[in-house]
Amino acid sequence: MLRMLTAGESHGKSLLAILDGFPAGMKVDTDAINVELKRRQGGYGRGGRMKLEVDEVDIQSGIWQGVTLGSPITLAVINRDYKLERLKDVERPRPGHGDLSGAMKYLGSVRAILERASARETAVRVAAGALAQQLLSLFGISVFGYVLELEKIKTTPSVGTYSELKAIRDASPMYTLDPVADKEIVARVDQATQDGDTLGGIIEVRVDGLPFGLGSHAQWDRKLDGLLAQAVMSIQAIKGVEIGLGFEAARRPGSMVHDPIHFDASRKFEPSLGYTRPTNNAGGLEAGMTNGQPLVVRAAKKPISTLRKPLDSISLKTKEPENAAYERSDVCALAAASVIVETVVALTVAQSFLEKFGNDSILEIQSRYTGYLELARQR
Ligand SMILES: Cc1cc2nc3c(=O)[nH]c(=O)nc-3n(C[C@H](O)[C@H](O)[C@H](O)COP(=O)(O)O)c2cc1C
């Protein structure tokens, strides 16, 4: 079983992720992890802090001479603006944050809550997910995330090969696949910045090259749709998760939802084993298991909670009305969130992949993977 725990405060010394159960024998590309960390810091609409921090992963255990050992991997991202000891408490809880709930739950300070609730924690989730992406890529599986909608602006994603789409996304200020919509998106973020407001939107992640049978139909806590929903929903500011058609499936008759099953022997050696589906409304998952089609996950991100034009709050000392506290903040972190959702999906898929094919060594997994495909082709 591949497990992850994270630790660290937003303005503490560092963020840490421990990955337990990662197989031995994988050559690690540290630069590729840093590329994802840098992408998480980018995107149009970010606040000042992202310009201060240049995140880089510091691998503290589990890797020797660039290769995974099979022992727990510790990934650290050091905070260059460490200042937690000097920071004061916050007296005016911010709507949309855990400030009030956490202070009541722990009978303590708001600072204790906001430091840990902050999305800064996702720096190490991204590092861990980037490592999972490297594992999946050994088996021809790619995980690709992009922004689909900003507020009410819908994009029309370009069509192309993986490397063409990656080039379009990486050139986009909001990590979309639509250079035309980007102009409107940038103008909308500029307007929100002027208004002291914030914006959210919708992210889509696509996983290609998946074999049949990741996840399970048999038990609620092993179903991959359920695991994805939990993992993606746990990302700060994500308020909805859809797989395939998602909520739209409820608005259509069955004949316009379910994907017919065909067979094309010439595609027998693809991960789909030749079973083709003219549509992919299920988003690659049926009964909690992958069905050989691309996995499609969407996530809805709410607008940033800290507003320069603050909402009503109260003073926790006097209980009198006050404006909510303001700390330097993003106007729109949707592009960054697309990197987080992408890597969180990668980690979740990697967990189910290792559950099916074992997690001791890459060599053994490769042999079990090819053996399984062979058997499934004969089924
Ligand atoms: C990439 C990213 C960056 C964020 N940056 C900020 C920020 O600068 N200011 C802020 O108030 N909230 C920010 N948030 C949102 C909060 O972390 C989140 O809304 C808060 O922790 C409450 O959790 P919840 O929205 O999941 O209920 C960010 C979220 C993400 C995913």
CA-CA distance, 244 to 142, in Å (whole number)?
17
Verify whether ligand 1 is closer than 6 Å to residue 223 (CB atom): no
| Residues β-bridged to residue 268 | none
Q: Is the pLDDT of residue 38 over 70?
A: yes
Confidence at 48, pLDDT banded by 50, 70, 90:
low
Verify whether ligand 1 is closer than 6 Å to residue 304 (CB atom): yes
Verify whether ligand 1 is closer than 6 Å to residue 47 (CB atom): yes
C-alpha 305 to ligand 1 mean position (Å):
7
**What mean pLDDT, rounded, does the chain reach?**
96
Mean pLDDT of 165-178: 98
Q: For residue 218, what pLDDT is reported?
A: 98
Mean pLDDT of 55-76: 98
Residue 172, domain extent: 3-378
Q: Is the pLDDT of residue 51 over 80?
A: no
Point out the ligand 1 atom lying closest to the alpha carbon of residue 237: 25
What is the count of structural domains for the chain?
A: 1
What does each C-alpha distance from 67 to 4, 24, 265, 315 come to in angstroms? 19, 8, 38, 52
The 10s digit of each residue's pLDDT in 107-139 is 999 999 999 999 999 999 999 999 999 999 999
Verify whether ligand 1 is closer than 6 Å to residue 325 (CB atom): no
Confidence at 53, pLDDT banded by 50, 70, 90:
low
C-alpha 248 to ligand 1 mean position (Å):
27
The 10s digit of each residue's pLDDT in 314-341 is 999 999 999 999 877 899 999 999 999 9
Point out the ligand 1 atom lying closest to the alpha carbon of residue 47: 8
Q: Is the pLDDT of residue 342 over 80?
A: yes
Verify whether ligand 1 is closer than 6 Å to residue 237 (CB atom): yes
Q: For residue 360, what pLDDT is reported?
A: 97
Q: CB–CB of 38/329 below 8 Å? A: no
C-alpha 41 to ligand 1 mean position (Å):
13
Mean pLDDT of 186-193: 97
Q: Backbone phi, then psi, for 308, in 5-degree steps?
A: -65, -35
Mean pLDDT of 173-197: 97
Q: What is the CATH number of the domain that holds 62?
A: 3.60.150.10
The 10s digit of each residue's pLDDT in 244-286 is 999 999 999 999 999 999 999 999 999 999 999 999 999 999 9
230-263 core/surface letters (b: 16 or more CB in 10 A; e: else): ebbeebbbbeebbbbbbeebeeeeeeebebeeee
C-alpha 94 to ligand 1 mean position (Å):
11
Q: Is the pLDDT of residue 148 over 70?
A: yes
Confidence at 359, pLDDT banded by 50, 70, 90:
very high
Verify whether ligand 1 is closer than 6 Å to residue 306 (CB atom): yes
Q: Is the pLDDT of residue 52 over 90?
A: no
Q: For residue 331, what pLDDT is reported?
A: 96
CA-CA distance, 32 to 174, in Å (whole number)?
20
Instruction: Determine how many CB atoms are found less than 10 A away from the CB of residue 47.
Output: 17
C-alpha 268 to ligand 1 mean position (Å):
45
